[in-house]
Structure 1
Amino acid sequence: MLVNVTTRLDHFTLLGFPGLQPQYYGPVSALMFFVYLAIVLGNMFILVFVMYEKKIQKPTYLIFCHLAINDLTFGTLTLPKIIAKYWFGNNLISFHACFVQMFFVHYLGAVQSFNLMVMGLDRFISICLPLRYPAFISNTVVSVLCGIAWFIPLPIVISVVLQTISVPFCKSNIIAHCYCDHISIMSQTCTEKFLSITLSTVAVAMFCLLLPLAFIIFSYTSIIVVILKMSNANGRKKTFSTCTSQILITCLFYLPRLFVYLANALGFSFSSDFRIFLIMLYSLLPAAVNPIIYCFKTQDIKESLFMKLQRARIGIEQKGFPMNKMIRLR
């Protein structure tokens, strides 16, 4: 749909995967629905579990809660709309709703990056400066640091959105993506400021991704050096196990993004469908997988879950014992 410069857009059309054939709409939407279900159930479980389990209300698990809130919010703001497109043919999103979605897509990505930096700081002090950990890190300190992580990207991303929403649109109202993001929206504009806006947005993205990443690399490199210097093999294994979940979560967030950015920088081109698939993969896979990592790669959560399951099993057996006894007596 061609749009005149003077025409005020009232909606955008989400294209989703451009090359997807209609016969695959059902399976793809069902897959995305189950991914969304995994995101909601997994992250809600982590939030509720940490809230009610006093034993694990520690700084590390408060950071997990902030990551879970981020993942839950991102999935809720992006997946239902594209699921509705493939299930019900509802592919329209209002002009302002598209920019709201764009804001949260980039804002939540930046917040996740800074929260991962807080997590790296927590592990760095815990392993490299263990005697000072109680003095430096507490629930209050972590809450303040995570609050700062939520605040830093806010004015930056708001300025990007305001800068983008003010430009004229003269191409089409079709968003070749599963959700509204800056690149997709800017591709429909016709402004002389296109280059400057794009460059400023790239600079913001690099600041929000590379600054935390630089500290994360420093912290985990320092941790690995400290672990390698330990003379006791069991001590090395035990210490490393305390940060494996954090390393996995960080890798899931950064490595696919770095792959896409490096591929583009080196001149590798992807088809539209494959590019969108990669973006959806690195945006949504961590949100669905992180709760599993929290549960199976974190000792305290794993032990608490095991104890609760054991108590539940014993309770069921005790309730069933009189009935079994009565059956034997008969």
Structure 2
Amino acid sequence: MFYTNVTRIKDFFIMGFAGLSQEYYGPVSALLFLLFLAIAVGNIFILVFVKCERSLHKPSYLIFCHLALTDLAFGTITLPKIISKYWFDDGIISFNGCFAQMYFVHFLGATHSFILMVMALDRFIAICAPLRYTVLFTNTTVSVLCGISWFIPASWMVGIVFDALRLPFCNSNIILQCYCDHLTVTVLGCENVREIQVVALGLAMFSLLLPLGFIIFSYFVIIVAVMKMSNSDGRHIRALSTCTPQLLITCLFYMPRCFVYLANNVGFILSDPFRTVVIMLYSLLPSAINPIIYCFKTKDIKENLKKRFLTRKINNSTNKG
């Protein structure tokens, strides 16, 4: 543990939803537990289903698996402690545990953003260069690109967390959030934390805006390319329908984050309770919704699920007969 000459903070206290009456602790913990179950069951199902269905061993579905893995890991890192806070009145997290959680929160968020960029690249090549898609975008290519998406944030996040670790802490040890993130922890430092926060914000903006810029550009080119297609055989609809799941997943990830960043920069002050709710919604709700999008908005997964269901139904009828 890193101790300072100013004080020796051994633990932090997760405040969660500030101002929440104790009578709501039970319902809130139950709601968060159901959210955790939805994230765990949904994303594990996607990982297992794609693994077992050989027909889904394609670049697009490997990307879905990487996204599902980041969603599952993020929910596992953040939800158990806040559930414990409201279920067992245990909001204490160790000093080192808080910084470990901080590392994974930002690492997984940045990784998810870069993998969304890979997903946009997949659709860009599939629609704009369909004849070369199977050559340019193979499973190996996806594995390399997604591997880079995991490696780059993992490396730079070590420096960000290490800088925060070196701060002397002389203020409150109360985390005004449902989990430890860089901003809520570093504001508790008693030195000038502005430089550390600016560096962290710059890297956060890089991991958010670079992928988002590429995604906007790629989908703009895709829409232009689709508009130039002949619509006699319904190619417009088929081409755009292949992008629907990706667009929904991308909007769920980026739009609330952009709202929070823009609100802060234009001087619109969000109250701590409202900010906590918004951050929890954009951090965790997409992780629970994404598996539903994969299953019901993706043709191949939907058809494989139908085949599995019909086969089981026929087998059950045969056994009863």
Both structures adopt the same fold (TM-score exceeding 0.5): yes
Give the match for residue 111 of structure 1.
111
Letter in 2 for 1:163: D
Give the match for residue 152 of structure 1.
152
- Structure 1 CA distance, aligned partners of 2:262 and 2:94? 33
How far 1:42 moved relative to its partner?
0.1
- For residues 71-82 of structure 1, the aligned pairs below 5 Å read 71-82=71-82
How far 1:275 moved relative to its partner?
0.3
How far 1:229 moved relative to its partner?
1.5
- Structure 2 CA distance, aligned partners of 1:212 and 1:249? 14
- For residues 262-277 of structure 1, the aligned pairs below 5 Å read 262-277=262-277
Letter in 1 for 2:47: L
Letter in 2 for 1:181: D
Give the match for residue 188 of structure 2.
188
| 8 A Cα contact 1:252 1:282, kept in partner | yes
How far 1:90 moved relative to its partner?
0.8
- Structure 1 CA distance, aligned partners of 2:190 and 2:228? 58
How far 1:131 moved relative to its partner?
1.1
- For residues 1-330 of structure 1, the aligned pairs below 5 Å read 6-192=6-192, 194-232=193-231, 234-321=234-321
How far 1:120 moved relative to its partner?
0.5
Aligned length: 318
- Structure 2 CA distance, aligned partners of 1:59 and 1:311? 27
| 8 A Cα contact 1:5 1:170, kept in partner | no
Worse-superposed segment, 222-231 or 122-131: 222-231
- Matched position secondary structure for 1:232: coil
How far 1:5 moved relative to its partner?
5.6
How far 1:221 moved relative to its partner?
0.8
Letter in 1 for 2:49: F
Q: What is the CA deviation profile of residues 125-156 of structure 1, one whole-angstrom value per residue up to 9, with x for unaligned ones?
A: 00011111111111111001000000111121
How far 1:195 moved relative to its partner?
1.3
The RMSD of aligned alpha carbons is 1.2
Give the match for residue 324 of structure 1.
none
Give the match for residue 326 of structure 1.
none
How far 1:58 moved relative to its partner?
0.3
- Matched position secondary structure for 1:89: coil
- Structure 2 CA distance, aligned partners of 1:5 and 1:120? 49
Letter in 2 for 1:238: R
How far 1:57 moved relative to its partner?
0.8
Q: What is the CA deviation profile of residues 67-90 of structure 1, one whole-angstrom value per residue up to 9, with x for unaligned ones?
A: 001000000010010000100011
| 8 A Cα contact 1:5 1:169, kept in partner | no
- Matched position secondary structure for 1:172: coil
Identity of paired residues, percent? 57
How far 1:264 moved relative to its partner?
1.1
Q: How high is the TM-score relative to the length of structure 2?
A: 0.97
For structure 1, the 5+ residue unaligned runs are: 322-330
- Matched position secondary structure for 1:93: strand
For the pair shown, the structure with the greater C-alpha radius of gyration is 1
How far 1:198 moved relative to its partner?
1.1
- Matched position secondary structure for 1:152: helix
| 8 A Cα contact 1:126 1:133, kept in partner | yes
- Structure 2 CA distance, aligned partners of 1:262 and 1:173? 28
Q: What is the CA deviation profile of residues 85-111 of structure 1, one whole-angstrom value per residue up to 9, with x for unaligned ones?
A: 100011110000000000000000000
- Matched position secondary structure for 1:42: helix
Q: How high is the TM-score relative to the length of structure 1?
A: 0.95
| 8 A Cα contact 1:13 1:174, kept in partner | yes
| 8 A Cα contact 1:168 1:189, kept in partner | yes
- Matched position secondary structure for 2:12: strand
- Structure 2 CA distance, aligned partners of 1:5 and 1:195? 21
How far 1:60 moved relative to its partner?
0.3
- Matched position secondary structure for 2:177: coil
How far 1:231 moved relative to its partner?
2.3
